[in-house]
């Protein structure tokens, strides 16, 4: 199964090449995805003109000219197959969770499997999709001039899985959804990765 890392900045704080213990965030995300059994190839979606910088750190950068994340995904994603979509600032993504969610998705008849928080918030950039259905949803979002990627939920037949319920069995689940947005987040991610490597958590 393919994984696609969205490393297409829209906001000033979205810097996917920010170093975390010497390696850029996006490189760590790719490394952790490669630890998942079901992921056999990882692609990274980037802005046009950034190929030289990203090719030093990720194996399959996909350069796209687009106005926003919605258009970038629409242009970069394949026409068919199943895929995992994640964002390039999630360095604590858990391979065991990726494996588990992939099994749930492949056993379902839905177009997508999207983790959900108890308040109803969906983690659309930590989810599995049927590529054809996702591209159709992205096309609908573009036609409606939507700005937020979360719009895809309106055009997909998806199932959810409760993050809190999963976390009751393994608290490390919640770390998988952590996004680095500040220097404080960066320090937390660095300390947590070291604890994971030592087996402390």
Q: How far apart are CA 35 and CA 17, in angstroms?
A: 20
Of the candidates 132, 121, 148, 104, the residue with the CA atom closest to the CA atom of residue 113: 104
Is residue 7 pLDDT above 90, yes or no? Answer: yes
pLDDT of amino acid 199: 81
Q: Residue 98 phi/psi, 5° resolution?
A: -60, -45
How, if at all, do strands 112-116 and 41-47 pair?
unpaired
116 beta partners: 122, 162
Separation CA 69–CA 74 (nearest Å):
8
Tens digits of per-residue pLDDT, 102-126?
Answer: 999 999 999 999 999 999 999 999 9
pTM beyond cutoff 0.85: yes
């Amino acid at each position: 199964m393919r994984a696609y890392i969205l490393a297409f900045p829209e906001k000033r704080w979205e810097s996917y090449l920010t170093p975390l213990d010497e390696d850029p965030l996006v490189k760590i995300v790719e490394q952790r995805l490669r630890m998942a059994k079901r992921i056999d190839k990882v692609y990274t979606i980037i802005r046009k003109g950034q190929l030289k910088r990203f090719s030093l750190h990720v194996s399959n950068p996909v350069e796209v000219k687009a106005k926003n994340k919605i258009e970038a995904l629409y242009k970069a994603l394949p026409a068919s197959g199943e895929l995992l979509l994640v964002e390039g600032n999630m360095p604590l993504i858990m391979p065991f969770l990726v494996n588990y969610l992939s099994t749930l998705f492949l056993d379902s008849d839905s177009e997508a499997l999207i983790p959900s928080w108890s308040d109803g918030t969906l983690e659309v950039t930590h989810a599995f999709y049927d590529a054809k259905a996702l591209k159709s949803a992205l096309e609908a979002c573009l036609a409606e001039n939507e700005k937020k990627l979360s719009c895809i939920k309106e055009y997909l037949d998806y199932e959810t899985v409760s993050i809190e319920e999963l976390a009751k069995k393994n608290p490390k689940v919640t770390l998988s959804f952590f996004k680095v947005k500040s220097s404080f987040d960066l320090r937390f991610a660095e300390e947590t990765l070291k604890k994971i490597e030592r087996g402390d958590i």
